[in-house]
Amino acid sequence: MADFRCNFKHGYKARNQWRKFAQCKGVNYKDFRICSDHFEVSCYKKKTPPRFLLHVGAVPTIQANIQETEEGTIGRSSNNAIFEPPNASELNQSSSQIFMTSPKNTNQISRLTANETLSSFQNFPTSPAKPGNASSQIQLTPKTLRIKMKNRLLAAYRSQIQRLKRQKHKNFLKTKESDIQSIIIRS
C-alpha cells in the first residue's frame, strides 16, 4: 500500500474508534492523521493508485511495528504512526526562510507588437548556434503579423465606407431638399 495519512473521521462513532486506536488523550484530533499502514486492505474502496479511498466505517486495526503475514493486512509500519502537524510558530519560522534559485535558461523569442512592422522583424537577431530552431519559430510570426495588419486595414476600409455612405446619404437628402425648394420657388 501507499504511505499516506488518513484524516480522523468526522462521525462521532468513527472518531471515537480512531481515538481509541491512537491512544492519545486531551489532544485536538482535528489536525491528526493516521498512516495508511494501519488499515487492512479490506478497508479500502479503491485499491489502486494514485488515490486510495477508505470505506465509511473503516477503522485502523494494525498497530505500529507489528509484522503480520495474513494476506489482508499490511506488515510494514513506521515508528511515526500517528502524525501531528508542526506548531504554527514552527511553520512561521520555516516559511520565513527565502530560497533563491537561478532562473531556468530557455530559448525566448520576443513577440512582435501590433506597432512593429515587417521591416523591423527582418532585423530580428537570430542565434547562429541554433539557426534551424530559431528560424522555424520565427517564420510563423510574419504570417500572423500580416494577417493582423490586413484585418486592421479591412476594418479601417469598412469604417471609411460606412462614413462615406452616411455622408452621401446626407448630401443626397440635402440635394433633394434644395431641388424641391428650387422647384417650389419656380412655381
User: In a structure prediction context, what are the per-residue pLDDT tens digits for the chain, which is 187 residues long?
Assistant: 444 445 555 566 766 777 777 776 665 655 556 676 777 777 777 665 555 677 777 777 776 554 443 444 444 444 444 545 555 555 555 444 444 455 555 455 555 555 555 555 555 555 554 555 544 454 557 778 888 889 999 999 999 999 988 888 888 878 888 888 888 888 7
0.75 exceeded by pTM: no
Q: How many residues appear in the chain?
A: 187
Q: Are residues 15 and 89 in the same domain?
A: yes
Co-location of 137 and 77 in the same domain: no
Q: CB–CB of 63/38 below 8 Å?
A: yes
End-to-end CA distance of the chain: 107
CA dihedral 168, 172, 174, 179 (to 10 degrees): 160
Dihedral of the CA atoms 93, 95, 101, 105 (nearest 10)?
180
Q: How far apart are CA 16 and CA 18, in angstroms?
A: 5
The answer to whether residues 90 and 136 belong to one domain is no
Supply the range of the domain harboring residue 54.
5-95
The domain total for the chain is 2
Q: State how far the Cα of 69 lies from the Cα of 117, in Å rounded to an integer.
A: 75
**Rounded to an integer, what distance in angstroms lies between the CA atom of residue 10 and that of residue 56?**
10
Q: Does residue 100 fall inside a structural domain?
A: no
3-state secondary structure of 34: strand
Whether omega before 60 lies within 30 degrees of 0, making that bond cis, reads no
Same domain, 72 and 130: no
Is residue 15, in this structure, part of any structural domain at all? yes
Whether the Cβ atoms of residue 43 and residue 58 lie closer than 8 Å to each other: yes
